[in-house]
Each structure stands twice: as structure tokens, then as C-alpha cells.
Amino acid sequence: MIAKNSKLILLSTDILESNIVFHPNSQKGEDRINKMAEVPVNIDFDIKTNDEGLHYVFATIEINNEETADFGYSINVMGASVFDFEEGISEKEKNDLIPSGVNIAITNLRAYIKAETSYFPLGSFSFHSIDMNALFEAKANEKRTTNKE
């Protein structure tokens, strides 16, 4: 099947901040990787639009990023993806496509983490699949709470 072009156009993805540290300890490599799979994945994102109508998705991923982290990888990565839309697209279509932009931004950070950790002793690390609907719902609840204060 031939994939159709999206009306959402990815212009760029940039890594703005990256801190990935390997914490050696006495556990076997396999045990450390299994323990890493149990660590919560903290994802935050924000969407901004500039005067030219470009949409910026800023995303941050933190995994085992605590001062007390003593095993596996400690990861803190932030990136920005820039999107535009095809000419003539309605505001409703834009609003429907923006969540895809967030998903793309997170996927690009996932790929970056996987590539960067491939150089470390434990090898490539990739975190679990993300429930994007739950992530968007949590973000909406966060904004509602912030607006009430």
C-alpha cells in the first residue's frame, strides 16, 4: 500500500538538551535492563505557534532521572519539532493533526534515546509504548488545574 502524504508537514526536529548517564552496579546487564523497564517514563510537552503560523512541539522525556539513580540509564532529553500545514487546510483539520505532531516529536526523541544508548555498555534502550490518549488527557487536566490557580 502506498502511504499518502499528510497535510501535517514536519520541517525539523532538534535536540535542545540531552543528558544520558550510565550507572554501573553489581547487577547483571539483563537484570538492569529489566529493572529499567519498570521505571516510570515522565513525558511532558507543550505546543506553541509563531507569527508565521509554524507549530512548535516541545517535548521532554525523563527516565530514572533522579539524584538517587543507581542502576541502568538516567535519561533527560528535550527536543523541539517544527511543523507546518498544507495550504488551504481548515483550523479544525489543523487541530485534528496537532496530536500527530506530538506523537512524531516523542517518536523522534525515542529514536534519539535508542541511538545514543547504543554506545553505552547496556546497549540500546527503548521505553514502553505510550498511551497517547492518556497523555493528552493528563496534559488537559494539568492545564485545567493550572488555570484554576
Does residue 120 lie in a domain region? Answer: yes
The total number of structural domains that make up the chain: 1
The DSSP symbol for 35 reads H
DSSP H helices in 2-72: 29-36
**CATH code: domain of residue 25:** 3.10.420.10
Mean pLDDT computed over 101-117:
97
Does residue 100 lie in a domain region? Answer: yes
pLDDT digits (tens, 9 = 90+) for 22-71: 888 777 767 777 888 888 899 999 999 999 989 999 999 999 988 888 88
Mean pLDDT computed over 106-123:
94
pLDDT at 25 (0 to 100):
77
**Boundaries of domain holding 55:** 8-148
pLDDT at 29 (0 to 100):
64
User: Residue 94 is inside which H or E element, if any?
Assistant: helix 91-117
Whole-model pTM?
A: 0.89
Does residue 31 lie in a domain region? Answer: yes
Does residue 3 lie in a domain region? Answer: no
Does residue 1 lie in a domain region? Answer: no
Asked whether residue 16 carries a pLDDT value surpassing 80, the answer given is yes
122: Cβ contacts below 8 Å, ≥ 6 apart:
22, 29, 32, 33, 36, 72, 73
pLDDT at 38 (0 to 100):
87
Does residue 62 lie in a domain region? Answer: yes
Mean pLDDT computed over 5-28:
91
Cα-based distances in Å from 77 to 17, 51, 74, 116, 134:
6, 27, 10, 11, 21
